[in-house]
Amino acid sequence: MARQHLTTFHEHWSAAVRRSDGDSAFLLFHDESGTTTWTYRRFDEIVARTAGTLRGLGVRPGTAVHVALRNCPAFMATWLAVARLGAWMVPVDPASSARDVAGQVRRTEPVLGICAADRAATYRAGAGDAVPAVLVLEETAADVAPGGPLLAGDPIHAAAETITAGTRLAVMFTSGTTSEPKGVVLVTARARHARGMGGRASGPGGPSPSLASHRRAPPHERRQGPPVQDDERCRRERRLPPGARPREVTGDAESGRPGRARVDPAIRPGRGPGFPSTL
């Protein structure tokens, strides 16, 4: 069997836009203003303009963008734009405390932070002077509408020439339930396992099987404060003896088999930048 060709996250997205002929629905978003739909072609233009905006704010190949947003169009546009620029994203819990944010930015050294307006004070308190620029969004369709804050730059359609299968795409922090959170590295080669994002768009007149739909939770449903670990519930589900704490279990991202997550030693506490991935 021929070995599967490794392509980048940007190439997967561009291929999805071409397969859809650009006119199939890609994203539905529900917020207080109603429901907004974007086709592949229309959202690709948003990604291009977002890439231009991020470049204007200092994002370059190999730099980090720290993102504390809930599910919203801006989150998706930012990740695709960051990948196009050859940079990498640090998506974190949008309800992160100032202490959490401070630890994350200290260990990843982002050139740009992106947060929501209703949590901007907490974010800025944690980021301090460690983040050169902070972009504040509303987490609504207005963020990616004409004249919106993400569409201020000139469009960038081509991917950075420095991108390879091993280029870092993201660093995702573990929950930190039993120890200091670790930075788990995702490279562009692993993005091929998530091709459902843009795969198999249907022809005219039919819905897209890869259609993404997001609803912004109303205020009474939104979780406030830092994440809480329910140890008692975990003990019951895993049949642990009284007093025992649940262990953090990770798996192999490619095979799905139990194992150890790939952790970047440079993102561990007390380490400086370096970024060689290791098991």
Domain count within the chain: 1
Predicted local distance difference test score (pLDDT) of residue 114 = 98
Q: What is the CATH number of the domain that holds 93?
A: 3.40.50.12780
Q: What is the pLDDT of residue 8?
A: 85
Compute, in degrees rounded to 10, the torsion defined by CA atoms 153, 157, 158, 163. Answer: 70
The amino acid sitting at 157 is: H
Q: What is the pTM for the complete model shown?
A: 0.69
CA distance 33 to 193: 34
In a domain, 143, yes or no: yes
Q: pLDDT digit string (tens) for 86-123?
A: 999 999 999 999 999 999 999 999 999 999 999 999 99
Q: How far apart, in whole angstroms, are the C-alpha atoms of residue 201 and residue 197? A: 10
pLDDT at 28: 94
Domain for residue 256, yes or no?
A: no
Q: Is there a domain that residue 254 lies in?
A: no
pLDDT score at 110: 98
Domain, as residue range, for 126: 9-164+190-202+210-216
DSSP of 62-75: T-EEEEE--SSHHH
Ranges of residues in the chain with a pLDDT under 50 are: 1-4, 6, 194-216, 220-238, 240, 244-279
Selection from 81, 84, 90, 71 nearest residue 46 by Cα: 81
Instruction: Establish if 178 belongs to a structural domain.
Output: no
Predicted pLDDT at 268: 41
Please name every residue paired with 7 in a beta bridge, in sequence order, or none if there are none: none
The answer to the question of residue 229 being in a domain is: no
| Domain annotation covers residue 133 | yes
Contact of 54 with 65, CB cutoff 8 Å:
yes
Q: How far apart are CA 120 and CA 134, in angstroms?
A: 9
User: For residue 69, is it within any domain?
Assistant: yes
236 falls within a domain: no
What was the pLDDT predicted at 166? 87
